[in-house]
Structure 1
Amino acid sequence: MERILIQLDNYLIKTLAYNKQARILFVENTDLIRAVCNHDHMNKLLKTALGKTVSIASMLTGILKGTQRISLKVKTSNHNYKIFADVDSKGNVRGYISDELLNAPSDYLNNLSIEQLIGARGCIQVTTDIGMNNVFTGITDMPYGNIVDDMSHYFKQSEQTPSWFSVHIVFNEKNEIVLSRGVMAQLLPGAPVRLIHRIRNVISDHQSYLVDPENSKTFKGLPYSIFDDIDIVGIEPVRLFCGCSKEILYPMLYALDKEELANAYENNSLLEIVCNVCGKKHTFDSSEIESLI
């Protein structure tokens, strides 16, 4: 069996296992998740919720082709509190939290688990764009309230495709993300349903490979280490890509008070707008402000 060397920092390993009856995807996306969660207002709870959602999106790129895209929306029982992620077939991933959730009182959030944040009326919405104006949307409830198992539930209920997700995000004592890895298994047509449980048990028996930051080299060989019948069919990068620009954010300046714009222009001050998706800062100088006033 030919082995493929991996030299990427954030990558998705695509495999076929058990006589090509299942595809199993392995993602190492620590840097990506650390970057998407790099926001001053995010506590450990929000980083975990967003990180899990974006990690799932990172793995879903492995089932896309051509110009296809998938968008995830996690709605909590408070429907103003939402978590978003989307990904294309090239491994471009982005994700963010709604402003209402991002700015929720810290005293309130610090006392919640993910299950409590999701609540009894949470739901997952998955929109798949397969190109040529063909867009499909599926919505399911969230009986587990932890996002990861709820995505497995979504594929079973909405897609009738036995699937299983495992996402591991490790924090240090400062609540900084030091590791993010995940596994997605999905049965192909004709495979026995019991096979998904077998795959889950194998992965669960090798949790140390997923949660130990020192096992980066071991993780790269994980498919061969724990499965006898498996072939790596591709290794692809995953990356944080927002696509924001000053031109796209320019209309947001119109939302500012006219007096504020005039003062910035007269004082030759700079105005700064931060993209709520990727956190990138865009600065507008007095000449750019002048056109607005």
Structure 2
Amino acid sequence: MKDYLLKAVACDEHVRIYICSSTALVEEARTRFDLWPTASAALGRTLTVGSMMGSMLKSEKEQLTIRINGGGPIGTVLVDAYSDGHVRGFVSNPHVHYQYNDTGKLAVGIAVGKEGTLEVIKDMGMKENWSGAVALQSGEIGDDFAYYFTVSEQTPSAVSVGVLVDTDNHILSAGGLIVQMMPDASEEDIACCEAALAKLAPMSTLIKEKDSLEQILQEMFSDVKILSSQEICFKCHCSKATMKRVLTTLSKEERQAMIEEDHGCEITCNFCNERYHFSEEELRELERFITTFQKD
């Protein structure tokens, strides 16, 4: 199944649904950061939810950042999401792998920990960003986002998200589902959703076995109505030009050391692990530009 996202409604439009397939997106993150299986699952789940939350933004100028830190060995999980369907993100420690002894499943909750918070920061082009934070419930990501939506955004929500990792560490399947109750939802609507979710297979299994997201939704709700579809992907907007601007924030002494001692430098983008090399001559040219600009 290709990577894409659907927005839909069901139960006489009293229920709002977001669903996505994110296998290639998560595989892109895995290869960029050399993620071990549990780190792939933790970052992959967050990127997947991020892509759905990005689609909730009202304009292309808006963006949001998700920051999770539960005190576990993976450190911080950080994801940026945008309205056009692209996301980027990283974890502090990509080489984390734990499994639960009883089930053999990836122990995301152990890797992330639950002694901390899930924070969402929304940049909506205003003077100050909006932010909301909740205490982590399990560190398993899905439960934590369901709690976030219900408590911080006052929208009762169910969140299912999964990443299936193969024995050679590549991503077999990944996807997510958010089901939200609208203010006019009735007890009957709630019961309908609970019944649909109770028999729902893990999202990674559904993405692997079903032909399309439309099929998954149609099997969940008899009256589902698809509102829109969009592609999603892992994409970073870094460039050599943006990295050159980073160099200008360093002290003159630091830049001179790169020129005279290192004869060049390499800068790595935290969000996508892309590396940018600057030769000694490029650094000297930058220094001449900065000197001229400061004189002017």
Query: TM-score, normalization: structure 1?
Result: 0.82
- Counterpart mapping for 1:150-165 below 5 A: 150-165=144-159
1:149 aligns with 2:143: yes
Higher mean C-alpha deviation, range 56-65 or range 32-41:
32-41
Q: Partner of 2:55: helix, strand, or coil?
A: helix
- What displacement does 1:216 show? 4.9
Q: Give the distance between the partners of 2:191 and 2:42, measured in 1 at CA.
A: 25
CA contact (8 A) 1:60 1:87 kept: yes
Range that drifts further, 13-22 or 114-123: 114-123
Q: Distance in 2 between matches of 1:208 and 1:119?
A: 22
Which deviates more from structure 2 when the two are superposed, residues 31-40 or residues 216-225?
216-225
1:48 and 1:80 map into 2 onto residues whose CA distance is: 11
The reply to whether residue 9 of structure 1 matches residue 2 of structure 2 is: yes
Counterparts of 1:147 and 1:123, CA distance in 2:
11
Secondary structure, in 3 states, of the residue corresponding to 2:53?
helix
Helix, strand or coil: the match of 2:143?
A: helix
> What CA RMSD, in Å, does the superposition of the two structures yield over aligned residues?
2.8
Percent sequence identity over aligned pairs? 24
Q: CA deviation at 1:291?
A: 3.3
Question: Does 30-39 or 53-62 show the bigger shift?
Answer: 30-39
* Pairing 1:23-34 to 2, within 5 Å after superposition: 23-34=16-27
- Distance in 2, matches of 1:23 and 1:291, equals 54
Matched, 1:261 2:254: no
SS at match of 2:78: strand
Counterpart for residue 177 of structure 1? 171
Consecutive aligned runs of 4 or more in structure 1 exceeding 4 Å deviation: 252-260
The 8 Å contact of residues 75 and 122 in structure 1, kept in 2 or not, is answered as: yes
Residue 155 (structure 1) shift: 1.3
Are the structure 2 counterparts of residues 53 and 197 from structure 1 closer, same or farther at C-alpha, using a change threshold of 3 Å? farther
Distance 1:191 1:120 in 2: 32
- What number of residue pairs does the alignment pair up? 275
Where in structure 1 are there 5+ consecutive unaligned residues? 1-7
Structure 1 residue 128, shift from structure 2 partner = 2.2
How do 1:206-285 residues align onto structure 2 when only pairs under 5 Å count?
206-207=200-201, 210-211=204-205, 214-250=208-244, 251-252=246-247, 254=250, 258-265=256-263, 271-285=265-279
- Counterpart of 1:38 in structure 2 is 31
Range with bigger deviation, 254-263 or 213-222 = 254-263
Long gaps (5+) in structure 2: 100-106, 288-296
Kept in 1, the 8 Å contact 2:33–2:273? The answer is no
**Separation in structure 1 between the aligned mates of residue 233 and residue 11 of structure 2, nearest angstrom:** 29
Asked whether the equivalents of residues 94 and 242 of structure 1 are also in contact (C-alpha less than 8 Å), the reply is yes
> 1:78 offset after TM fit, Å?
5.9
Q: Kindly state the Cα deviation for residue 47 of structure 1 after the two structures are TM-superposed.
A: 1.2
> What's the CA shift for 1:157?
1.3
Task: Measure the CA separation in 2 of the matches of 1:79 and 1:140.
Answer: 20
Query: Does 2:258 align with 1:288?
Result: no
Partner residue of 1:52 out of 45, 49, 70: 45
Q: Which amino acid aligns with 2:82?
A: D
Correspondence for 2:290 = none
Partner of 1:127: 121
| Cα distance between partner residues in 2 of 1:200 and 1:50 | 27
Secondary structure of 2:219's aligned partner: helix
The superposition leaves residues 3-26 of structure 1 with CA deviations (integer Å, 9 ceiling, x where unpaired) of xxxxx9321111010000011111
Give the whole-Å Cα distance in 1 for the aligned partners of 2:268 and 2:86: 20
CA contact (8 A) 2:73 2:112 kept: no
Kept in 1: contact 2:163–2:171 (CA 8 A): yes
